[in-house]
Amino acid sequence: MKYPHDRYNRLLKETFGEILKLSELKGGEYAGDDDRLANFRRNATALGLLPEQVWAVYCAKHWDAIIQFVHDLGSGKERKRLESLSSRVDDIIVYMLLFKAMLDEREQISSPKADVNVLAKELV
């Protein structure tokens, strides 16, 4: 079986649309209106962690579900799933973009033009 380019291109367009929708809906639900990374900061402060560490836990739960599917596929085990694997993939893509935002923010801090005191307070 072959996976044609036009089908892949349709998948990309559908996925990007879903990513935009998820980012908007879940972003407001988890982070509020002012700071897209607020939930990572809030939970990092509460737990004495870095926002990136909180991000890793959130993202890992979706990755765990995908890895379990891969193991189940290899062993022939069928399992009911609460969320579709496709939605798990979309969630991971959103989490990767959030991580990219965290990296972007950290790069701002290391910029020679950045006011380190102001930006450091924003990270925590």
Host H or E run for residue 93? helix 85-110
Which one, of 23, 38, 13, lies nearest residue 94 by Cα?
23
Q: What is the pLDDT of residue 29?
A: 85
Tell me how far apart the alpha carbons of residues 34 and 37 are, in angstroms, rounded to a whole number.
9
Q: What is the pLDDT of residue 1?
A: 94
Percent of the chain residues topping a pLDDT of 90: 79
Helices (H), ranges, 32-84: 38-47, 51-75
Task: Kindly report, residue by residue over 31-74, the tens digit of the pLDDT.
Answer: 888 899 999 999 999 999 999 999 999 999 999 999 999 999 99
pTM of the model: 0.84
Across 69-96, average pLDDT: 96
